[in-house]
Structure 1
Amino acid sequence: MLFETWLVVASVPLLPALLVVASGRCRVQVAALCRGALARALRMLRGRVCVRSTHSFVFSECTHGNARSVLETFDLYADTHPSLCIGPQTGEALDEAVGRVRPCRVLELGTHCGYSSVRMLRLLPPAGRLVTVELDPLTAELGEEIILVAGFKHSQFQVLTSSSAEAIPTLRSLLELNRGTGEGLNLVLMDHDPERYLPDLLALEREELLCPSGCSVLLIHRNRRAGDRGGILGHVRARPDCYSVESELQFMTEIFYQQESTKENK
């Protein structure tokens, strides 16, 4: 944490020097790159501080081994502090989707503090399994600890510390899915970078990881003004042969994937 803080602080004085060296169009591009890098670094630091403080509160205040207590403690913390958790309102919509789909294999992109992981795991069948992907190593570690505190075992879930682009190609072997068998993910929760929603959906299609008989994809919208960032809804609406928009809530959209051949067989 100290190293990352130092890195951001040390990089700020270098920005004017970089701009002096650059000229014309190059100067504009360098300025944009520097601003983008600094913004990402600051977001990472704020996110880490949020995850650390949330984890500390939940870990010390909840009843260990009780998933309901863990969720209630998350909500209690979020009442008075900034939080990366989706919150009870979106959480109830997530519960409804999980209860309706009754998935056996779930992929979560964006572990954050472990809140959504706990909500989903408590509703999965005994043979159900969750794979959750988190880019930041510290966030992944703390999120995994909270999932364990909620009473779940590693046989029920796995945390992958990597980018979504790196994780998706590994899922077939990780979940022991054979091509051509009709197996796949039944539920996907996307709560990471909205700009990655469409590329990752396309990667899931390409890897044939979406269950052909039906897979619900839940898109979390943390910024209500962001709109269709990444163009994922445009892609879905352009493919009525296999996609449909099931619901559009304030903070979450559910889309449904099903191959045409499986529709005809029903």
Structure 2
Amino acid sequence: MSQDQWSAVDRYITDLLVPQDEALKAALASSAAAGLPAINVAPNQGKLLHLLAQTAGARRILEIGTLGGYSTIWLARALPPDGRLISLEADPKHAEVARGNIAAAGLSGVVDIRLGKALESLARIEAEKLPPFDFIFIDADKAGLPDYFAFALKLARQGTLIIADNVVREGGVIDSNNADPNIKGVRRMNELIAAEPRVSATAVQTVGVKGYDGFALIRVIA
């Protein structure tokens, strides 16, 4: 198996099951034109997030890490008419591009993009005493995963589904001696999840146009 074959299979799946509309295409194009890194989820992964949020019956979604708003659009479209999505972004340029993409997709009335460091934004959300979120997608810096997971638990309810992206790191996650802060962050989050009786979780390896990685699925059960 090779990267070429993984990518070809992803294209086959996307062409058949994930038709891209103009808003999603435009979001990717404007992000690329602005020089944003091409680290957004793949189209079939965006559709997976969309289906998971719908299956969870999500009315309130929290996204940690906006980038250009590609995954934000997928998630926002899973909400009912009265649903809301808050997305956190630390980079002003990324937030500006994302707001434009969200507006072009007709979702400005649904999505609230908050600029600032994620931990500071999460603390403000906690202080606002908002209703708990039904679905939380964590796709920010991996060194911060332990803290993001801890906050996600505070902002969740029984039944909330938490998804953390990029948790396999091309297999690097199994190397306990790896000094990469991203890998250390993933491993520490996994340890916290394993020791947390309030959640039930697993992780899945993935291959495709984004290479070899994976995501964690965490359901709050108590």
TM-score, structure 1 normalization: 0.61
1:193 counterpart (141, 144, 147): 141
Q: Give the match for residue 117 of structure 2.
A: 163
Letter in 2 for 1:160: R
For residue 149 of structure 1, report the CA deviation from its aligned partner. Answer: 0.5
1:139-166 deviation per Cα after TM superposition (whole angstroms, max 9, x unaligned): 1111111011111123x11111111110
1:172-217 deviation per Cα after TM superposition (whole angstroms, max 9, x unaligned): 455x52xxxxx41111111110111111221343xx3111x21111
Letter in 2 for 1:184: P
2:84–2:111 CA contact under 8 A, matched in 1: yes
Larger RCO: 1 or 2 (CA < 8 Å, sep 6+):
2
2:28–2:70 CA contact under 8 A, matched in 1: no
List alignment gaps of at least 5 residues for structure 1.
Answer: 1-66, 178-182, 260-266
Give the alignment of 1:244-263 within 5 angstroms.
244-250=200-206, 251-259=214-222
Q: Give the match for residue 189 of structure 2.
A: 232
Greater Cα offset, 248-257 or 122-131: 248-257
Q: Give the match for residue 6 of structure 1.
A: none
1:75–1:88 CA contact under 8 A, matched in 2: no
Asked whether 1:210 is paired with 2:165, we answer no
For residue 74 of structure 1, report the CA deviation from its aligned partner. Answer: 5.0
2-structure distance, mates of 1:128, 1:185:
11
% same residue: 21
Q: Give the match for residue 180 of structure 2.
A: none
Give the secondary-structure state (helix, strand or coil) at the position aligned to 1:83: coil
Structure 1: 4+ residue segments shifted above 6 A: 75-78
Pick closer, same or farther for the CA change 1:169–1:245 going to 2, 3 Å. Answer: same
Greater Cα offset, 219-228 or 136-145: 219-228
Q: Give the match for residue 177 of structure 2.
A: none
2:28–2:68 CA contact under 8 A, matched in 1: no
Give the alignment of 1:119-134 within 5 angstroms.
119-134=74-89
CA RMSD of aligned residues (A): 2.6
Give the alignment of 1:1-266 within 5 angstroms.
68-73=21-26, 83-154=38-109, 156-172=110-126, 174=128, 177=130, 183-205=131-153, 208-211=154-157, 213-221=158-166, 223-227=169-173, 229-230=184-185, 231-239=188-196, 241-250=197-206, 251-259=214-222
For residue 100 of structure 1, report the CA deviation from its aligned partner. Answer: 1.0
For residue 224 of structure 1, report the CA deviation from its aligned partner. Answer: 2.8
1-structure distance, mates of 2:89, 2:217:
21
2-structure distance, mates of 1:169, 1:139:
21
2-structure distance, mates of 1:252, 1:91:
13
Q: Which structure carries more helix by proportion?
A: 1
Give the secondary-structure state (helix, strand or coil) at the position aligned to 1:133: strand
1-structure distance, mates of 2:30, 2:170:
22
2-structure distance, mates of 1:103, 1:226:
32
When the two structures are aligned, how many residues end up with a matched partner? 181
1:132–1:160 CA contact under 8 A, matched in 2: yes
Letter in 2 for 1:243: V
Letter in 1 for 2:48: A
Letter in 2 for 1:210: A
1-structure distance, mates of 2:58, 2:146:
22
1-structure distance, mates of 2:80, 2:203:
24
2-structure distance, mates of 1:126, 1:86:
24
Q: Give the match for residue 46 of structure 1.
A: none
Larger radius of gyration: 1
2:138–2:148 CA contact under 8 A, matched in 1: no
1:84–1:113 CA contact under 8 A, matched in 2: no
